[in-house]
Amino acid sequence: MLGGVQTHIARAALLVALAALLEVALSPLLTFGWVGPRFLIIGVVLAVTGLRDLQALLLGFFGGVLTDALSGGLFGVAAFGGVLAAAISLRIESARRKGETRLFVAQATVASVAVYDLIGLLAPLLAGQGGPSITGYLVGGMIPDVLLNTLLAYLASGFILKLITTKEERWT
Amino acid sequence: MGNRKPNAASTLAAFVVLCVTSLVLFTVYVKEGDSGPLHTVQLGAAEVLRPVRGLFGFATSPLSAASERVEGVLDASEVRALEEKALEYEEEAAEAARLRQENERLRALLDGEQASFTYSPLARVVAPVGGQLTRRVVINIGANDGIEPEQPVVVGNNTLVGRTTERVTPNTAEVLLINEQNFAAGVRIVPPLAPEDEPDEGSVPAPDLEGNSHGEGLLRTNWEGYLGVDYVDLSAEAEQGDFVITSGRAGERELLFPPGLLVGTIESVSSQDISQYKNIVATPAVKTDDLQEVRVILDR
């Protein structure tokens, strides 16, 4: 919950579904080298803000499953990334002070995108497909990727959070 | 996850269950093979998503066009024209190399029949697909046009750009590009014809028909993004400017790609005392980032 407002679960789910679609259809068009927008992660981080723990985890998981199904990549990678992004967001949110929403979103995005990129690096290795050197990927892929997506999340958070939250009605 | 303490245990349990489920899905996907249920789901989704991908591709086309224009301004137009001309020459040279190989094979087999390639209709590249570590595109022709998995994909007549993957739907096919790390092809290094032997001045730098191959190896793109030819013996005469074409055969075994498809030219050759193979870097004949239309070789 964000102060006096509450996240609408249906809107949050729609946001994650849209993010999954963008991740699959738009992200490859905007990816340069190893760097590109991670719409799913940004969507999950924003959507789970103010949700109950279980709702948030399930939303992250099913958003990831949807991405896996649509993307043609290794199945389970986005699902795992989605769950971890939701868990990271919940953990950071629990330590957040009131009124620092954008900062919280930025922090959660940094950690979530970094973890998601690491999973994306390790998964092909586990599947026997090989992968780039960790140092090269860290410098040329993960760090710029984290910076780009944090900026995107920071800029978009105000508008998107308005869309998915509703004002809490008080009993008098 | 700790802001609702009464539910902390159940939340942790849910987190663990979902993580394990994700890992199970991953394991099943890797182990199930291309006809498994998860692969089938992805195949169906690819077909459903085709219009959406096309729409996004269309929507971002001004961005791509602007990017190309900027690139065009930065590069001199003359250089671009020369590059195109060079590509044309290289294609023709590779064609000559292919014809030579075919001729040799025919003589060896004493068989007058030469199967020519059967091409698919011209296919438009719909959109790139996959994650940040993949280099794949979807094209707008599929099984209805005779496309099958593992068919060579070319630009022009014989410049290799990739191959089809298992993801072929009735109207789409996924193409694994040559600059993805999972792509591999048996290749042969062919020298260009010496200038004095060229039929006309300024004509095609054709391969030396009398000369021997400058080596054979495996075409791979490494994780640093360089296209290389691996396992070329130290005694091979490969040098800068040689053509890299598909070999078609490895000993007695016929390979996936037919012989003579142009891949690129050799950019550098080096060797180390501790290695038994040459270190060869090649420049691809086609920039896969700029792909718009391709053809699939259906039969050879």
What domains are there in chain B, each with its CATH number? 77-179+289-299 (2.40.10.340), 184-285 (2.40.10.350)
Please report the pLDDT score of residue B249 as a whole number.
74
Residues 1-20, chain A, touching B (beta carbon < 8 A):
none
* C-beta atoms of B49 and A131 within 8 A: no
Q: Span A57-85, mean pLDDT? A: 93
> In 3-state terms, what secondary structure has residue B154?
strand
> Could you give the CA distance from residue B170 to residue B50 in angstroms, rounded to a whole number?
11
Distance CA(A111)–CA(B202), nearest Å, equals 58
Q: Which residue has the higher pLDDT, A164 or A60?
A: A60
**Radius of gyration over every alpha carbon of chain A, rounded to an integer in angstroms:** 16
What residues of A are in contact with residue B26 (Cβ under 8 Å)? 74-77, 80, 123, 126-127
Q: What is the pLDDT along chain B (300 residues), one digit of tens a residue?
A: 544 455 788 889 999 999 999 999 999 999 987 788 998 898 888 888 888 888 887 887 777 667 666 655 655 566 777 777 777 777 777 777 777 766 665 565 444 333 568 888 888 888 887 777 778 888 989 999 999 999 999 987 688 999 998 888 888 899 999 888 888 888 888 887 666 655 555 554 554 544 567 888 888 887 777 888 888 888 888 888 888 888 887 777 777 888 888 888 888 888 877 778 888 888 888 888 778 889 999 886
Helices (H), ranges, B33-76: 37-59, 61-74
B131–A120 C-beta distance less than 8 A: yes
Instruction: Identify the H or E element spanning B232.
Output: strand B227-233
Angle at B235 between CA B231 and CA B237, to 5 degrees: 95
Check A72 against B52: CB less than 8 A apart: no
Burial class (CB within 10 angstroms; exposed 0-12, middle 13-18, buried 19+) of A107: buried
Partner residue facing A29 (CB), from B26, B42, B127: B127
Cα of A156 vs its chain's centroid, Å: 13
Rounded CA separation B180/B297 (Å): 20
Looking from the CA of A86 toward its CB, the CA atoms found within 13 Å total: 33
Indicate the domain borders of chain A: 5-166
Q: Which CATH number among 3.40.50.170, 1.10.1760.20, 1.10.510.10, 1.10.3470.10 corresponds to the domain A5-166?
A: 1.10.1760.20
The verdict on A73 touching B (C-beta cutoff 8 Å) is yes
- Axis crossing angle, helix A101-126 with helix B8-32, rounded to the nearest 10: 30
Tell me how crowded residue A13 is: count the other CB atoms within 10 A of its CB: 18
Q: Are B296 and B120 in contact (CB under 8 A)?
A: yes
- Contact assessment for residue A27 and residue A36, using Cβ atoms and an 8 Å cutoff: yes
Q: What is the mean pLDDT of residues A147-158?
A: 92
